[in-house]
Structure 1
């Protein structure tokens, strides 16, 4: 395991649990400041290291979306067994996984907070992923899209192509079932994001059936907004959201 990639766990004194889901090729390091902020307010917090992450991109190429989803699904079940309300927060692919949990578990998910979530891509070469995954092991990485000087994300410098092809399968599944999402939803989107295009937020907000769905524009951050200049805003709005949704 890469130093700093360790999962995060804190058991709070209240009845609220929060599951944090990190992004594709990333680690809990990108979520740790958020996790610590929530833990300081006595929420129980879990942020697992997803299979294939935090080691090598070659290892990640041996995993699929079902492995990543299985890890957050198990963690959600554990939190749900010991807390009356469980919220799921996710960034980028973590948002995709959070949406899938909401689609599967319905009202058992108390609410969703999504930061630059992904459900598609406009990149022309994405359609070639099933073919490319058979002949091309990796391409340049997408990690570290942060506006704030001096801040880095612990993520792979290469994108494993087989894993990316599997992520595209998850996107299709989540998009098809968006109407099953009825939980309160807070979506925070960076004004400038070099990884996830704005169309992703529109697809999600147009597709869910949540009576309460709020979009917040992050003016001072790139894709990894939880480590960027708007991080404090994200943290504060998420806590307000949980308190209002309960």
Structure 2
């Protein structure tokens, strides 16, 4: 049944072929590629090869998400990574929210990742934990579209499957436990006012990764979905600077 859901307009995966430097761009939990497309387009405009996979179960219908596991989301990102590896010598990974969790996972598992850029990355969301005790509830209210900028909406699900929260929680735990395995350069963006992921997640990441080159940048004008918010240009500009510095 789940296969019958159409991909929503704007939630399609995106690929831009460019030079031998690749950037893997991952969206977050219950969101879609729409949240990362402006970044992908900006990086492609600089000549980079860019891949923005649609995480399995995302960008269709929340009942579709309910059927997927965190291993499915990892597989979606690994598929994008393979696509880039066939075309590029050097690969950077960036992600928003759970996309940041996936970015950390990739850096933990694949030492060849040249550098990572995290945007409000999630490794511990205490507010989600009571959900583990829920019986008989399938869906909760949406968590998407936490944006300060007026008139901007994230293409995200209007409901959050309880089953999917039961997948993201152990995934965050696994990634958090292995933070010391991250040794590549890291650029961390954190919104001081985030209603989805507690901002202290970013400081914990900064403190526990083994990277010699790491910096944390605080964003004052954006909420959780900073890639669509007032700090979008800062994220793009600082990421491009970071990549140039490392290459």
| Bucket of the pairwise TM-score, normalised by the shorter protein | over 0.9
Secondary structure of 1:217's aligned partner: strand
Partner of 1:3: 9
**Aligned-partner Cα distance in 2 for 1:172–1:222:** 24
**Residue by residue, what CA displacement relative to the aligned partner does 1:122-144 show, whole Å, maximum 9, x if unpaired?**
21xx3333332x52111001100
Query: Does structure 1 conserve the Cα–Cα contact (< 8 Å) formed by 2:108 and 2:181?
Result: yes
Q: Aligned residue for 2:132?
A: 130
Structure 2 unaligned blocks of 5 or more: 1-6
Specify the SS of the correspondent of 1:98: helix
TM-score with structure 2 length normalisation? 0.95
> 3-state DSSP class of the match of 2:215?
strand
Q: How does 1:7-156 map to 2 (within 5 A)?
A: 7-12=13-18, 14-106=19-111, 108-123=112-127, 126-132=128-134, 135-156=136-157
Q: Which whole-Å deviations, capped at 9, do the CAs of 1:32-60 have from their partners, x for residues lacking one?
A: 11111001001000001111001111110
Query: Structure 1 residue runs of 4+, over 6 Å off?
Result: none
After superposition, residues 183-194 of structure 1 pair within 5 angstroms as 183-194=184-195
Aligned equivalents of 2:33, 2:239: Cα separation in 1: 17
Q: Which runs of 5+ in 1 are unaligned?
A: none
Q: CA RMSD in A?
A: 1.0
Count residues with an aligned counterpart.
Answer: 241
Deviates more, 1:179-188 or 1:77-86: 77-86
Post-superposition Cα deviations, 1:56-90, rounded to whole Å, max 9, x if no partner, equal 11110000100000010121122123211100000
TM-score (norm 1): 0.96
